[in-house]
Amino acid sequence: MSKTAVVFPGQGSQVVGMGKDLYEKFDLAKDIYKRADEIMEMPLSKISFEGPSDLLMQTHITQPALFVHSYILTQLIGDKIKADATAGHSLGEYTSNVYANSIDFENGLRLVKKRGELMKVSGVKRPGTMAALIGLNENQIDEICKKAKEHQIVQPANYNAPGQIVISGDVEAVQRAMKIAKEDPYNSKLVKQLPVSGAFHSELMLTSSEELRVTIDKMEFKNANIPIYTNVEAEPIVNHDIIRNSLFRQLMASVKWQQIITNMTENMNITKFYEIGSGKVLTGLIKRIAPESELHNIGTAEDLLKYNI
């Protein structure tokens, strides 16, 4: 029997104006944004709705803004979509944990707030960057990173889809890797440095990771209601201790998105995916990983109407 998964976007999917239509149309959205503004101790709703975009793009604001937007949509959807499993890309894994009831919304947002703040600080303490390398396989990426290191850090950060891998690390090492990737024998189709404030999912996040563990350990987690395919393992997890450990490890480890989707389709027979939140980044990746899948996006009040929600 075919099954359904709900997936949640991460950083890079944010757009100014997201959530405004939900706020204007639903009292539930107003209430949640009010709670979120209080927990964040800043006008998160106003920044989500009005920007400016350079403020919304700052990691300590981007992450909670995406998290709250996706969460509101899940509350409006309710049980009209019944998911057999869930996953989220990087930050989106926190949303999937709230969706699977392993942690509640308020504590989830507090964790996301702390994560964003720590990642911002790490980006200042240990400046780094990220780059997308298109058209190369995992072995080639490993070779390139090895050649480019020169006593610095550069490593695969996101295995997004076949031929789409993001690397992360020290600025000079990442730029060396970009140069190597463009040349023989690799000849990458596209090499692009990403507009990020740090080397996320790399060893440069070590200080953030250790501090994040302290916050995670203070939070109450429960076993998940449905399996969460975690970024670190790419396997279905329900145990609260493994979930907790996965969120801690995730900050320095690679996001195994391609493997997550492959495992979902092959091991659980998931054939239908709903991306809940801003943008269609994950839908585009899933289309490349599992082209036979049935794909849906719900990110706006109009989308809710389209699905009779």
Q: What is the rounded end-to-end Cα distance, in angstroms, of the chain? A: 24
> Is 201 annotated as catalytic?
yes
Nearest partner of 282 among 91, 73, 79, judged by Cα: 91
Cα(133)–Cα(62) distance, rounded to whole angstroms? 24
Q: Rounded to 5 degrees, what are φ and ψ at 275?
A: -90, 120
Q: Which residue has the tokens 């190369």?
A: 136
Contact 106, 39 (CB under 8 A): yes
From the list 69, 89, 201, 209, the catalytic residue is 201
Cα(133)–Cα(281) distance, rounded to whole angstroms? 16
- Other Cβ atoms less than 10 A from the Cβ of 153: the count is 18
> Is 90 annotated as catalytic?
yes
From the list 48, 70, 90, 197, the catalytic residue is 90
Q: Which residue has the tokens 């279905």?
A: 236
Q: Which two tokens stand for residue 27?
A: 């009292």
Residues assigned a catalytic role: 90, 201
